[in-house]
Amino acid sequence: MTDLLFLVLSAVTLVSAVLVVVNRNAVNAAMFFLLSLVGTAGLFVLLDAYLLAFVLILVYAGAVVSLFLFIIMLLDTRPEAQKPFKKMTVAASLLGGLLLFTGVLSLVLRFTPAPVGADPALAPVGASLKAYAEQLFTTYLLPVQVVGFLLLVAMLGVIVLSKRFQEPESRSQNSGGTA
Amino acid sequence: MIELWSNLPPALQMLLKGLAVIAVIFPIAGASSLAERKISAAFQGRPGPNRAIPIWFAWVPVIGPLLQKLGVFHLMSDGLKMLFKEDPLPGHVNKPYFILAPILAMIPAFTTVSVVPFGAYFDAAGHAVPLMLANVDVGILAVFAVGSLGVYALIIAGWASNSKYPFLGGVRASAQLISYELSMTLSVLPVFLWVNAPGTAGSLSLARVVEFQSQPGFWGGTWFVFVMPVSAFVFLVSLYAETNRQPFDMPESEADLVGGFHTEYGAFKWSLFFVAEYSHMTVGSAVFTLLFLGGWNPLPWVPLSDVAVWLHLADSPVLLGLLSIAIFLGKVILSIFVFMWVRWTLPRFRYDQVMKIGWQRLLPLAIANLIVYALAIAVIQK
């Protein structure tokens, strides 16, 4: 039963992940991303990591993808108006994929499976809220802070990039003096 | 009877339990629509729906006219009408997503029920055993996670309808629901900080919150609505916004958007949106009752265990379980009534006011509330 579920969920996750990339319709891509996330959450549930599963749904499916849809609707992207990929984009995505592959490969090669049932403390950390929070705030405190800082930098970057900085007088001319 | 039940395979047991819970939620959602019409009528000094009656009920002397006056048969005739009406599919819509949207509306509404406890009984050792479908550790997180998927129904419905007003409704829905989710999540944090005192097994289970509110003594039996009124207020206001109820029904707002996200929908698909809204209200009221109104405890400072002693029910778990479910449902129905009371009393906010209330009033209030309670709890529970 568990093996069958694992296969089905993995297939759903991978197929929809591929469809996210190749789909020409942005709304379809976002919906397949959603499906892929639900599949991943299902895999987490199979691993008894309920907390991770629900956090994934809450953060990504609940907020991030719905913001994607919101933006797609505001921009009103049409499939025919899509530009082909630039060479730089292809190179960057290949490099990113290679980095990810190397990371996963090194993880797999260096991984030594723990003896089954040897230590109850080695139970999946994602299963219990308390164990998970303790790990986050003690062992992994620095990475958490660094990631948080990176997110802050990214947010500031977006604000700087998207906001038009104009001279005060030219702005008042453009907007008819309401600003 | 009980032996027959325990001999069933576990998967079938779970299926039957789930169907039983849906069989309670669905009629409540349906009856809420009738209650809405009756309550709005009462607020506006009208009699409300009071005509429909099948002929064989009209022959019953007193009960027949009484049921007619209460409008009970309008509920059935409405349901049948929605079911047998022609289901129009406008030519300009995106068909797969147009059909998917009402289904997406129902799924989160019914899935969240599985982690919401709705009653309790006491086992031989005197411990309270909550009645719920899935007693998972992550309780409230699961409710928020699955509940937040409800926004897709509105966005997809608005987008797939491929016309102006539904589109505006969908855009409004996504912005509003994301805005208020933040305040909602922050407002319940003090409750769980207080429940998960240092040294206890950490848990986000909703049953645990009710257990915490049914301890003996003055502070043990105090409901969280008295201890944390600001949390309760922020949660309730965000709940109204999350369920698209007036004064926050921006996605629908028939005065400026015709019907909002469901303008192009009719017949059964439309009624699915309708039932989903009332199911969301029911589940939201249930969560509010569990967190702030003591769950299945009948009165503040009167826990269920005292009632069990007074009525000599401690050794009959079935009766006590039914009693606790009745108390809980009573509170939920009261909370749904407050939803309707607010709807027919307050005027609808403008869209900019909705955004302003969410980001500039409610969110700072929720954050300040969290900081104050976090400090207070740190001092008290040291």
Sorting pLDDT into bands at 50, 70 and 90, what band is A78? low
| Chain A contact for B177 (CB, 8 A cutoff) | yes
| Chain B contact for A124 (CB, 8 A cutoff) | no
| Chain A contact for B181 (CB, 8 A cutoff) | yes
**Residue spans of chain B under pLDDT 70:** 1-2, 124-126, 199, 201-202, 314
Q: What digits encode the pLDDT tens for the residues A98-122? A: 999 999 998 888 876 665 554 555 4
Note whether B145 contacts A74, CB cutoff 8 Å.
no
* Pair (B295, B164) in one structural domain: yes
The predicted pLDDT at position B1 comes to 59
* Pair (B70, B135) in one structural domain: no
The predicted pLDDT at position A177 comes to 42
Asked if residue B5 belongs to a domain, the reply is no
Asked if residue B75 belongs to a domain, the reply is yes
User: Closest to B178 (Cβ–Cβ): which among A31, A63, A74?
Assistant: A63
User: Closest to B145 (Cβ–Cβ): which among A27, A54, A127?
Assistant: A54
Asked if residue A170 belongs to a domain, the reply is yes
* Pair (B76, B170) in one structural domain: no
In chain A, residues with a C-beta closer than 8 Å to the C-beta of B205 are: none
Complex ipTM: 0.77
| Cβ atoms B43, B345 nearer than 8 A | yes
Cα dihedral across residues B129, B131, B136, B137: positive or negative: negative
| Chain B contact for A66 (CB, 8 A cutoff) | yes
Residue at which a domain ends, from B34, B67, B84: B84
The predicted pLDDT at position A11 comes to 93
The predicted pLDDT at position B70 comes to 81
Work out the minimum CA distance from B72 to partner chain A, whole angstroms: 38
| Cβ atoms B76, B247 nearer than 8 A | no
| Cβ atoms A128, A50 nearer than 8 A | no
| Cβ atoms A36, A17 nearer than 8 A | yes
* CATH code of the domain covering residue A20: 1.20.120.1200
Please state, in angstroms and rounded to a whole number, the distance separating the CA atoms of residues B149 and B162. Answer: 22
Asked if residue A6 belongs to a domain, the reply is yes
Sorting pLDDT into bands at 50, 70 and 90, what band is A148? very high
The predicted pLDDT at position A178 comes to 43
| Chain A contact for B159 (CB, 8 A cutoff) | yes
* Pair (B214, B346) in one structural domain: yes
Average pLDDT, chain A: 80
* Pair (B116, B211) in one structural domain: yes
| Chain A contact for B216 (CB, 8 A cutoff) | no
Residue A99: count of CB within 10 angstroms of its CB: 10
**Structural domains of chain B, count:** 2
Residue pairs between chains A and B whose CB atoms are closer than 8 Å: 76
pTM of the model: 0.83
* Pair (B152, B300) in one structural domain: yes
> Which DSSP letter does residue B114 get?
G
| Beta bridge mates, B128 | B122
Nearest CA among B116, B160, B103, B168 for reference residue B142: B116
* Pair (B153, B75) in one structural domain: no
Asked if residue A133 belongs to a domain, the reply is no
Note whether B145 contacts A61, CB cutoff 8 Å.
yes
Q: Mean pLDDT, to the nearest integer, of A1-8?
A: 86
- Residue-range definition of the domain harbouring residue A157: 140-179
Asked if residue B2 belongs to a domain, the reply is no
Long-range contacts formed by B309-315: CB under 8 A, 24+ apart:
B314/B122, B314/B126
DSSP B164-209: HHHHHHHHHHHHHHHHHHHHHHHHHHHHHHHHS-TTSPP---HHHH
For chain A, helix (H) and strand (E) counts, in that order, are 8, 0
In chain A, residues with a C-beta closer than 8 Å to the C-beta of B197 are: none
Q: What digits encode the pLDDT tens for the residues B198-233? A: 767 667 888 888 888 877 777 777 888 888 889 999
- Residue-range definition of the domain harbouring residue B71: 49-84
Structure token pair of residue B196: 């998960």
Residue B369: C-alpha distances to residues A69, B247, B287 (Å): 32, 24, 20
| Cβ atoms B118, B310 nearer than 8 A | no
The predicted pLDDT at position A8 comes to 92
Residue at which a domain ends, from A52, A79, A106: A79
Asked if residue A86 belongs to a domain, the reply is no
* Pair (B250, B340) in one structural domain: yes
Q: Is the pLDDT of residue A176 over 50?
A: no
Work out the minimum CA distance from B4 to partner chain A, whole angstroms: 26
Asked if residue B1 belongs to a domain, the reply is no
**Structural domains of chain A, count:** 2
Asked if residue A157 belongs to a domain, the reply is yes
| Chain B contact for A10 (CB, 8 A cutoff) | no
A residues 31-60 near B, CB within 8 Å?
A: 31, 34, 50-51, 54-55, 57-58
Please state, in angstroms and rounded to a whole number, the distance separating the CA atoms of residues B268 and B102. Answer: 9
